[in-house]
Amino acid sequence: MQKQERYNALRREIQSVLQGEADPCVWMATLACLIREKLQYFWVGFYRVVGNELAIGPYQGTLGCLRISFDRGVCGACATRRETVIVPDVHRFPGHIACDARSKSEIAAPVFDRRGRLRAVLDIDSAELNAFDDCDRQNLEIIVDWMRDLEWPDTI
């Protein structure tokens, strides 16, 4: 199956499973599971914005690092730039945080609330080099945009 077809199936499933659900934690946990299951990536999860750093949220995969400051790593770059970051080879990304040596490429997408406030970062790792492209970027940005109107508490 082509990657876009997998994303089409993923998007249909997300819409049917999470329709009417407004709790961001329920969304993050369910998305981590469904994205990993449908796309078969190595690690899928969320880092929450807590104060002035990122703290681990719901994820699927091996142990993720617990806290990341905004000036570190792929997730920190995503949070600071407020845009999706694609890293074809993590070993060539200055400041990359290696949670698991098997991770070779990575994509991180920012999650905003309806006021445009950054609330989380969706982080996905692959065990293959150069696994992520515009297809991932476009589909993941559509998916995280569905989280914009959720009922975000002051701190998630």
- The site for ligand SME (CB under 6 A) is made up of 43, 64-65, 68, 73-75, 96-97, 99, 103, 106, 123, 125
Q: Minimal CB distance to ligand SME: which residue?
A: 73
The smaller minimum CB distance to ligand SME, of residues 65 and 127, is found at: 65
The smaller minimum CB distance to ligand SME, of residues 27 and 43, is found at: 43
Q: Calculate the dihedral angle through the C-alpha atoms of 19, 66, 152, 150, rounding to the nearest 10 degrees.
A: -20
Interacting residues of 109 by C-beta distance below 8 A, sequence separation 6+: 78, 84, 121, 122, 137, 140, 141, 144
Structural contact between residues 105 and 129, judged by C-beta atoms closer than 8 angstroms: yes
Q: How far is the CB of 2 from ligand SME (least distance, A)?
A: 26
Residue 126 token pair: 């692959």
Q: How far is the CB of 98 from ligand SME (least distance, A)?
A: 7
Q: How far is the CB of 116 from ligand SME (least distance, A)?
A: 22
